[in-house]
Amino acid sequence: MAELNELILEQLIWIVGGMALLMVILLIVSIAQGAKLRKLKRKYEAMMAGSGVEDLESLLINLKIQMDSIEDEHKLQTDQLKTVMQKLTRIQGKVGVKRYNAYGELGSDLSFSMAMVNDNQDGMVLTGIYNRDGSYVYAKPLKGGESTYTLSPEEKEAITLAQQAE
């Protein structure tokens, strides 16, 4: 036992020196960790500032609820946009007009045929015929670019002009 005590006393300076070095290293690591923790705390406080909640869990739950609400609204708007696009194809947006002199009399091209069609070539043709005695207007429905009524060459040309319109 005396030999063990003597060995420890001889090595005591090295043991104390090693412990002191270990304490200095641990102190440096502790200071570095404290600095990182303060930096992280500042970031956390900046993130939580103005959020109206006390902890990160509540903030994440609120963000999840808001995200779900935004996704629901997006789906609703997407469905509405599809409905509008479907209705838009049925609107008579393409127009073609052909002016002409119906009877070959002296004068201007006062008669006309005007075709209004949608993307499906559905719509109508309006024809206004002018002569010395009066003016007459006729309307003919179109389905797929064709009518159940006989179409004049001018009406067919107006339909062609409308189909070519952008």
Number of domains observed in the structure of the chain: 3
pLDDT tens for residues 126-147? 999 988 888 899 999 999 888 9
C-alpha 117/C-alpha 103 separation (Å) is 27
Dist. CA 115–CA 100, nearest whole Å: 14
Residues 112 and 146 grouped into a single domain: yes
Q: Are residues 135 and 82 in the same domain?
A: no
In this predicted structure, what is the pLDDT of residue 116?
92
Report the C-alpha gap between 89 and 74 in whole angstroms: 23
Q: Please indicate, yes or no, whether residues 42 and 1 belong to a single structural domain of this protein.
A: yes
φ/ψ of 89, rounded to 5, equals -70, -20
159 and 104, same domain (yes or no): yes
- 100 and 152 in a single domain? The answer is yes
Same domain, 59 and 44: no
Query: Per residue in 11-67, pLDDT tens?
Result: 888 889 999 999 999 999 999 999 999 999 998 888 878 777 778 888 888 889 999
Same domain membership, residue 40 and residue 24: yes
CA angle, 21 as apex, 19 and 23 as ends, to 5°?
Answer: 70
Per-residue pLDDT tens for 70-110? 999 999 999 999 999 888 777 768 899 999 988 776 668 88
Judge whether 48 and 56 are in contact, CB under 8 Å: yes
Can you give the pLDDT at residue 70?
97
The pLDDT of residue 118 is above 90: no
Mean pLDDT of all residues belonging to the chain: 89
| H-assigned helices in the chain | 2-48, 56-89, 153-164
Residues 23 and 39 in one domain: yes
Give the pLDDT of residue 130.
87
- Domain coverage including residue 19: 1-49
Per-residue confidence (pLDDT) for residue 107, from 0 to 100: 66
DSSP collapsed to 3 states, 65-84 = HHHHHHHHHHHHHHHHHHHH
Do residue 70 and residue 100 come from a single domain? no
The whole-number pLDDT of residue 11 equals 86
The angle formed by the CA atoms of residues 120, 126 and 130, to the nearest 5 degrees, is: 160
Same domain assignment for residues 125 and 139: yes
